[in-house]
Amino acid sequence: MPAFDKVKYLEIEKLVYGGSGLGFFQGKAVFLPYTAPGDRVAWHTEKEKARFILGRCREVLEPSPLRNPPRCPHFGQCGGCQWQHLSYEAQVAWKESIFREIMVRHAGFEDFSPGPPIHSPPWQYRARTRLSIKWHETGPEVGYLRARSHSIAKIDSCFLMRPRVAKIHATCLENILNSRAARKAAFYSATIETGDTGGCRLILECQPQLNSSTQKGVAKAAADSLAGLDFATSVWIRPRNSRAFRIFPDPDGKFDQRAAPAILPLNSGTLKLAVPPLGFYQVNLVQNQRLVKLLMEAIRETTPAPANILDLYCGMGNFSLPAATLAERVIGVDHAGESIEAAVENARFNAITNASFKAADVEDFVQNRKQLQGHGLVILDPPRTGAIKVARALADAAPPTIVYISCDPMTLCRDLRVLKDAGYGIRWCVPVDMFPQTFHIESITVLDRGAASGSACMTPCARVM
């Protein structure tokens, strides 16, 4: 057996961000996916660096009491879930521990104590899923990408999908893709979307523009495949670098506000926000309502009350429009033109007249410091890469309060360090479990300029459940 493949033994001590279990071998940190704290395992090296080893568990010799039988037969092959082998209670506890450690170590908040995590339904929470498609002579292969790979793990079902999304995947998608027209189109991905209200939407992505004959063929296959569903579903095609257009039903290519999947960001249901095809929205709709409620609590408890609010990376208005019910004026900024168009239409549909939206690159927008003046509160909801340039601009502009919604604690800490050095303290911070069965950690952090950092007891978590 080659030296790099020798079987070795260790005990897993903890979980780390990224999902792996951490153990030590001859003084080096060893990271092993799909392990649990307390496992004693046999393992081998896959890649060795100067200070750590990336390995693979070959056998669990003594299982941890935290272990739970994975529900999905594809677990360990599909790259979507990392922690199905843990009980949900253990997942949330480790997310809280990992989040606290990252905030102390990387953001420099030594006395930091986050609020208790907001728990989620552990299954059937995803309102949107994106499946990869690979074509073979025998037909299409549909599934998720394998972990750390570009190859596809074919799946027949996914326990994270909401029932309507799962039904389209299980009963309709394969029939559409097996049509002669779909083979000509060579679709490379399929996204299924639903919301709190409205129907579902299936979006097929392809490389070139399709001719009318192929479009009609796919539409015919869609009509046949979707006929037995008891809920409305539209089918869209999106050529690469182009806008999506509808082919079924009524192939006029228009986005219909009334028929689109829509989210209800307030649990009262008083706001209804339509989602554009492939537009960003939180896939866990239950947790989205709780996240919005936390934002609303942060605005209400801010003194003096912020008359003007700026929402950076606003999307289709998920935070902007609820915030507009508490402020005199809200401005939303996002680079995605289709999302801004949807935000404008959502404001009109909900009769909100004090919110305006601008399509612009957020990093470019904040370079004009005049545009950052006069806002009592800034909402910051960047992508996973964070917003270091925006954080620096906000540190200079010094708005009284910043609410930072993050989906990556590492980039959050990098950005918070900039704001901390500029005199901001944490009023409260709450992890929100947006993605059960995975290592991902969403959070909302409220920062006030000139304030000392708060503690977990100050969070309004009990009021959002």
Query: The domain that contains 115 carries what CATH number?
Result: 3.40.50.150
Q: What is the DSSP letter of 354?
A: S
Domain assignment present for residue 179? The answer is yes
Domain assignment present for residue 444? The answer is yes
Domain assignment present for residue 75? The answer is no
**Domain limits for position 359:** 92-121+280-463
Whether residues 313 and 426 share a domain: the answer is yes
Q: Which two tokens stand for residue 354?
A: 């004090």
- The string of pLDDT tens digits covering residues 252-263 is 655 555 567 899
Number of C-beta neighbours around residue 412 at 10 A: 28
Q: Which two tokens stand for residue 398?
A: 């010094």
Q: Which two tokens stand for residue 185?
A: 């189109």
- The string of pLDDT tens digits covering residues 317-339 is 999 999 999 999 999 999 999 99
- The string of pLDDT tens digits covering residues 125-136 is 999 999 999 999
Number of C-beta neighbours around residue 66 at 10 A: 19
Amino acid present at 3: A
The answer to whether the beta carbons of residues 350 and 271 sit under 8 Å apart is yes
- The string of pLDDT tens digits covering residues 141-161 is 999 999 888 899 999 999 999
Burial class for 277, CB neighbours closer than 10 Å (0-12, 13-18, 19+) = buried
* Domain edge (last residue) among 208, 227, 260: 260
pLDDT band at 112 (very low <50, low <70, confident <90, very high): confident
Distance of CA 396 to the CA centre of its chain: 29
The answer to whether the beta carbons of residues 384 and 443 sit under 8 Å apart is no
Q: Which two tokens stand for residue 346?
A: 């959502």
- The string of pLDDT tens digits covering residues 150-192 is 899 999 999 999 999 999 999 999 999 999 999 999 999 999 9
Q: Does 407 qualify as catalytic in the annotation?
A: yes
pLDDT band at 267 (very low <50, low <70, confident <90, very high): confident
Domain assignment present for residue 341? The answer is yes
When divided into structural domains, the chain yields a total of: 3
Domain assignment present for residue 206? The answer is yes
Domain assignment present for residue 199? The answer is yes
Whether residues 241 and 310 share a domain: the answer is no
Whether residues 385 and 325 share a domain: the answer is yes
Whether residues 245 and 338 share a domain: the answer is no
> What whole-number distance in Å separates Cα of residue 284 and Cα of residue 82?
17
* Domain edge (last residue) among 225, 260, 295: 260
Whether residues 181 and 291 share a domain: the answer is no
Judged against a pLDDT cut of 70, whether residue 465 lies above it is answered with: no
For the four alpha carbons of 315, 321, 326 and 328, in that order, the dihedral sign comes to: positive
- Average pLDDT of the residues in 30-43: 98
pLDDT band at 1 (very low <50, low <70, confident <90, very high): very low
- Residue among 172, 407, 413, 461 flagged as catalytic: 407
- Average pLDDT of the residues in 109-116: 86
Judged against a pLDDT cut of 70, whether residue 456 lies above it is answered with: no
Whether residues 226 and 293 share a domain: the answer is no
- The string of pLDDT tens digits covering residues 45-81 is 999 999 999 999 999 999 999 999 999 999 999 999 9
Whether residues 253 and 297 share a domain: the answer is no
Report strand pairing: 139-145 vs 152-154. Answer: antiparallel
* Domain edge (last residue) among 196, 226, 260: 260
For residue 430, the cross-strand partners are 444
- Average pLDDT of the residues in 439-444: 98
Judged against a pLDDT cut of 70, whether residue 98 lies above it is answered with: yes
Amino acid present at 280: F
The CATH number of whichever domain residue 10 belongs to comes to 2.40.50.140
Whether residues 173 and 142 share a domain: the answer is yes
pLDDT band at 108 (very low <50, low <70, confident <90, very high): confident
Q: Which two tokens stand for residue 112?
A: 């930091």
Whether residues 372 and 303 share a domain: the answer is yes
Whether residues 202 and 297 share a domain: the answer is no
Whether residues 297 and 431 share a domain: the answer is yes
- Average pLDDT of the residues in 240-248: 90
The CATH number of whichever domain residue 183 belongs to comes to 2.40.50.1070
Domain assignment present for residue 134? The answer is yes
- The string of pLDDT tens digits covering residues 202-241 is 999 998 888 999 999 999 999 999 998 999 899 999 999 8
Helices (DSSP H) in 173-267: which residue ranges? 174-177, 180-185, 212-226
Whether residues 47 and 30 share a domain: the answer is yes
Distance of CA 257 to the CA centre of its chain: 23
Domain assignment present for residue 72? The answer is no
